[in-house]
Amino acid sequence: MIMYVFPGQGSQKIGMGSDLFDKYPDLCEKADKVLGYSVKKLCLEDSVRLNNTEYTQPALFVVNALNYHERLNNTNESPSFVAGHSLGEYSALYAAGVFDFETGLKLVKKRGELMGRCEGGGMAAVLGLKEEDIRWVISDNNLEDVYIANLNTEKQIVLSGKKDKIYNAKSYFENAGASAYIPLNVSGAFHSPLMEEAKKEFSEYIDQFQFLEMQIPIISNVYAKPYDISKIKETMVKQMTSSVRWTESIQYVLDRQVTEIIQIGPGNVVDGLIRKIKREYTVKPVINIEESIVETKPVNEVENINTQIHKDNNKENKTDKNVAYNLGSQDFVKTFGLKYPYVIGGMYKGVSSADMVIRASKGGLLGFFGTGGVSINNIEENLKKIQQNLSSNEPYGVNFLHHLDEKIEEQLINLLLNYGIKVIEASAFISITPALALYKIKGLKKQGEQIISTHHVIGKISRPEVAEAFLSPIRENIIEKLLHDGKITSEEASMAKNVPVADAICAEADSGGHTDYSVAYTLLPTMIRIRNRMKETYNYSYDIKVGTGGGIGTPEAVAAAFLLGADFIVTGSINQCTVEAGTSDSVKTLLQKMNIQDTDYAPAGDMFELGAKVQVLKRGLFFPSRANKLYELYRHYNSIEELDERTKHQLETKYFRKTFEEIYEDVKNYYDEDEVKKAEDNEKHKMKLIFKWYLGNGTRLALNGEQDRVVDYQVFCGPALGAFNQWVKGTQLENWENRHVDEIGIKLMDEARLYMNNFINKLN
């Protein structure tokens, strides 16, 4: 197997292509027409302009293309892979047939113009330090605006950033043991977030072009894996701000039995990098070569890892166990129209926002809008926004949070039915309520003798008895009540007795927000066994899918979930520290800095009197301790008047910053007449409403980002985000402004898949 690689900027030299221009006059004529000048004269005579980014990039693209055609004419061989270093990736795209010569040159010309305009940036090569060393130097010394641009070899890494920051960083890397720190003669901070404006303009420009299917797998600089054919434009654009993962790219093909890597184009820079990578790397062969192009296949063509592992365990001959597996259930993927068995759970007060749901859906993930604590009118506005931005076949859902008031549940379900919502995430339920049952029943249809459901319920569950309720048909007394009230038909009532409430359940381990402190390693296997037993009991003709959530913030955690048998995963905490999260920048900055030990448990505002707990951020905040103090006071006293004067003064001046009377006026404006009457008649109930005001106010302060009240922020969060922060430390994702929910999800799944493949290969 052979691979062609194409050099990028830095390989240009006067005289390049001298023996090729006259051999390919048609291509040169097309180039001159697109560029508006003679590319031959540029390469042979104009050394000044040739080293100007605006001219360098198109000149290299042309010369690379001429060398490629010359290679084909001389050998007539077809490579197994192609790749290009930075700019060279466009030559690889051309070689793979993604676009024609003129289109490629137009793209490169625009790219060169945009990058040539960038000023105030700088780059430097660091020799002698590995990637992890580089990241630690950046992190430990708080080197802002310094990024890893090129991972050329294990110990040759190029930094990019603001010019003064790059210059001032030299001593830090030399002190850490770098053998050399070499500033590069460039004006832009290429392959860094500082190229964002150029990236946006290039993204708009590229939209006018249509691309063809690749004929040869192209190893992406961004992902160090083959291009996904569904994301060609996105990947090309993203390359401008992402690191060039050259070392991993070469290692990827070496693992797949590529024996010869041939540079196509001028100079020997790339060739030298490859020789060095080969010397420093021990090949880890992947037996199934077809995995190399798995990114160009639809997800549903790749086998479920759980199914395949069970098959392997039943085989006497296990020689094929080194195949590359996909994670999770492809039935789940197909049912919900996804690319990955990955769910973004609903978060209170619309933190899982409409923007988050839309972004997730566009990325092939299932996102749930968080309705908890959101007014019905606000929910409706967000549903309109989601539906205006998504097509009817793009996946999304709405969170349905259990409420003690059945009227509020029914109001929300009626809204969801009116808007044709096909998927809900039922959370915090301890039993099946009439509203939840109504939603499920109104989606039942007969297809021949089979009952199908067009309304899908995914239950988030942490208790076995609740799982049994979700995995059973709806109780007859609820069905009869709905029938009696005229909310369902007799035919619907009959069908409801033969199907489970849930189409899928998520075994929810300890997580942000409501929690039962469950551990995934005990909870998920238990839920799977309950599912199997209930399927047998009720003779269901299909499997109800079982996924898991809570504590998932790293590839290893994702892999562990699937290894335990999960059909899908649900993430939560990690998504609220993203651009799309519907909370304040102030909260996101706090979350970005948290570690795994930086959470605590506090009373749940919606079930305060029941002693239910939520997990919240504690780093830098007084909220958890203050909320717990309020609950203890509620437990031991029957009214505000029973509190001692010192405690009352502390609550009014430190906790609330309002008098009890002022808070009670707010309470009366918030709750309905029945609730206010209870408070008037019962002093303990009144105290409860005043104390709950503090919890709700903590959420409001956080969502609004009120800087003078940071210590009273209530931020629902689990330790998964701390683990995620550690995983991305020193990378572009360390800053929440670079975090997008779809990219995080896809990165987690891709890295978990690689982790699992390596794990399985080690077992063999």
Q: Is 602 exposed, middle or buried (0-12, 13-18, 19+ CB in 10 A)?
A: buried
* Contact indicator for 461, 528 with CB cutoff of 8 Å: no
Tens-place pLDDT, residues 702-744: 999 998 889 999 999 999 999 999 999 989 899 999 999 999 9
* Contact indicator for 368, 346 with CB cutoff of 8 Å: yes
**Tell me, what's the pLDDT at 69?**
95
CA dist 248 → 31, 219, 223, 225, 278 (Å) = 33, 10, 9, 8, 11
* Contact indicator for 603, 695 with CB cutoff of 8 Å: yes
If we measure between CA atoms, which residue out of 198, 136, 124, 134 comes closest to residue 163? 124
Instruction: Tell me the C-alpha distance between 371 and 66, whole Å.
Output: 58
Instruction: Tell me the C-alpha distance between 151 and 718, whole Å.
Output: 33
**What string of H, E and C letters represents the secondary structure of 83-97?**
EECCCHHHHHHHHCC
The distance between the two most distant Cα atoms of the chain, rounded to a whole number of Å, is: 98
Element (H, E) at 590: helix 585-592
If we measure between CA atoms, which residue out of 311, 305, 372 comes closest to residue 341? 305
**Tell me, what's the pLDDT at 292?**
33
Q: Hey, which residues does 616 pair with through a beta bridge?
A: 600, 716
The alpha-helical segments, DSSP class H, found in 457-550 are 464-470, 476-484, 490-496, 520-538
Instruction: Tell me the C-alpha distance between 580 and 591, whole Å.
Output: 14
Say which amino acid occupies 139. S
**Tell me, what's the pLDDT at 286?**
54
**Tell me, what's the pLDDT at 326?**
67
Residue 246: partners with Cβ closer than 8 Å, 6 or more residues away? 85, 150, 151, 152, 153, 221, 273, 277
**DSSP code of 543?**
P
Residue 397's SS3 state is strand
Instruction: Tell me the C-alpha distance between 165 and 122, whole Å.
Output: 8
Residue ranges and CATH numbers for the domains of the chain are 2-114+194-280 (3.40.366.10), 121-189 (3.30.70.250), 330-586+736-745 (3.20.20.70), 622-714 (no CATH)
Tens-place pLDDT, residues 451-493: 989 999 999 999 999 999 999 999 999 999 999 999 999 999 9
**Number of C-beta neighbours around residue 153 at 10 A:** 22
Token reading at 481: 């009540």
* Contact indicator for 546, 524 with CB cutoff of 8 Å: yes
* Contact indicator for 15, 45 with CB cutoff of 8 Å: no
**DSSP code of 716?**
B
Question: pTM for the complete prediction?
Answer: 0.60
Q: Hey, which residues does 425 pair with through a beta bridge?
A: 399, 458
**Tell me, what's the pLDDT at 611?**
81
Residue 203: partners with Cβ closer than 8 Å, 6 or more residues away? 233, 237
**Number of C-beta neighbours around residue 125 at 10 A:** 17
**Tell me, what's the pLDDT at 764?**
65
Give me the active site residues, please. 86, 191
* Contact indicator for 13, 266 with CB cutoff of 8 Å: yes
CA dist 705 → 493, 572, 595 (Å) = 48, 20, 21
Say which amino acid occupies 436. L
**Number of C-beta neighbours around residue 441 at 10 A:** 24
Distance spanning both ends of the chain, measured CA to CA: 25
**What string of H, E and C letters represents the secondary structure of 11-22?**
CCCCCCCCCCCC
Long-range contacts of 620-626 (CB under 8 A, 24+ apart): 620/590, 620/710, 620/711, 621/590, 621/710, 621/711, 621/712, 621/713, 621/715, 622/711, 622/712, 623/698, 623/711, 623/712, 623/713, 623/714, 623/715, 624/600, 625/600, 626/654, 626/655, 626/694, 626/712
Say which amino acid occupies 548. T
**Tell me, what's the pLDDT at 253?**
92
Say which amino acid occupies 482. L
Instruction: Tell me the C-alpha distance between 694 and 714, whole Å.
Output: 10
- Dihedrals phi, psi of 344, to nearest 5 degrees: -100, 110
* Contact indicator for 233, 207 with CB cutoff of 8 Å: yes
Residue 622: partners with Cβ closer than 8 Å, 6 or more residues away? 711, 712
**Tell me, what's the pLDDT at 213?**
87
Per-10-residue mean pLDDT of the chain, 764 residues long, equals: 93 94 95 95 92 94 96 89 96 95 96 91 93 85 89 94 93 93 88 92 93 92 89 92 94 90 93 92 58 32 32 34 59 91 94 96 95 94 95 91 90 96 94 96 88 94 95 95 95 94 94 81 95 94 92 95 95 96 94 94 85 89 93 94 94 93 91 89 94 94 90 94 95 92 93 83 70
* Contact indicator for 110, 33 with CB cutoff of 8 Å: no
